[in-house]
Amino acid sequence: MSDDLKGAVSIIFAGFCFALMGTAIKKLSLTMPNEIIVFSRNLFVLICFIPFLMRKKNLINLKTKNFRLHIARSLSGLSAMYLYFYTLSKLPLAEAVMLSYTSPIFIPFVAFLWIKEPIERKYIISAFGGFTGILMILKPGTSIFNYNGIYGIVAAVCASVAMVAIRRMSKTESPFKIVFFYTLISSIISFLPLTGKNIIPDNNEMILIFVMGLSGLAGQFFVTTGYSIAPSAKVGPFTYTTVFFAAIIGVFFLNETFDIYSMTGGVLIACAGILSVSNIKI
């Protein structure tokens, strides 16, 4: 099996894991407040760091001179998480996932405003296609317009800010350090709204929390593996398999339906995202 094929398979596995994570979050939202779900997600990942932190070498390597960037990345990433989880509770699974996958469309514009990266013509074209897809999913001005989708778009913008912050830190900070500080800061901040509340889940909720945390970690592992063994332009398009898996789960297990406008909008967003991460020059 070639590296390109291995990378593509890893990204497809990640897509399934993230769709499963979204399903668990959607199920949890029926009985748990959004802020508890977010904290549970962060706490699960933080606990998984404990075995790595027991090694003295890893503790020493956590020293950083970019704490402000870690704060910016954490605040933007945590905001995206709150908004995305809320969108999952209000929209069909595949639509919520698709709206979250508009972040590649926003990244070039955030990078231009923040770190002065030039905007290529293809990014403008992909933004136009992506926004058209967004309008087809949200359907503003119609009787079926769901304003909750706007939270999904804002989540994607926040996620793009987080990605640009990671890009700025990547030259001096290791992936382990970036993920650890994000998880630590997010766990602390997301705990604050829970003060004085009953946050003890029942058995069914514990199972869903475990599925949410484990599938999210597995998804991150497969994404990292995929991008590490194959060029992003070749495996990036496969990230949209998450939407495919989410649609299947939504139709067969959550009794969700989609109209032709939402499906067409999803295709436009996927094409726009693929264009933005490809090596195509326009």
Give the tokens for residue 222. 């497969």
Please, what's the b/e burial string for 170-198 (b: 16 or more CB within 10 A of its CB; e: otherwise)? eeebeeebbbbbbbbbbbebbeeeeeeee
pLDDT of residue 59: 61
Contact (Cβ atoms closer than 8 angstroms) between residue 70 and residue 182: yes
> pTM (2 decimals)?
0.90
Contact (Cβ atoms closer than 8 angstroms) between residue 22 and residue 88: yes
Give the tokens for residue 53. 């932190």
pLDDT of residue 143: 59
> What are the pLDDT tens digits along the chain (282 aa)?
678 888 889 989 999 999 999 999 999 999 999 999 999 999 999 998 888 777 756 665 677 888 899 999 999 999 999 999 999 999 999 999 999 989 888 988 999 999 888 888 888 999 999 889 998 888 876 656 678 899 999 999 999 999 899 888 877 888 888 888 999 999 999 999 987 777 788 999 999 999 999 999 999 889 878 877 877 667 778 888 999 999 999 999 999 987 888 889 989 998 988 888 777 677
pLDDT of residue 56: 59
pLDDT of residue 213: 93
pLDDT of residue 185: 95
Tally of CA atoms within 13 A in the half-sphere of 85 that contains its CB: 26
Give the tokens for residue 167. 């890009």
pLDDT of residue 230: 79
Give the tokens for residue 232. 């992003």
Extents of the domains making up the chain: 3-277
- Tell me the backbone φ, ψ of residue 62, rounded to 5 degrees: -85, -5
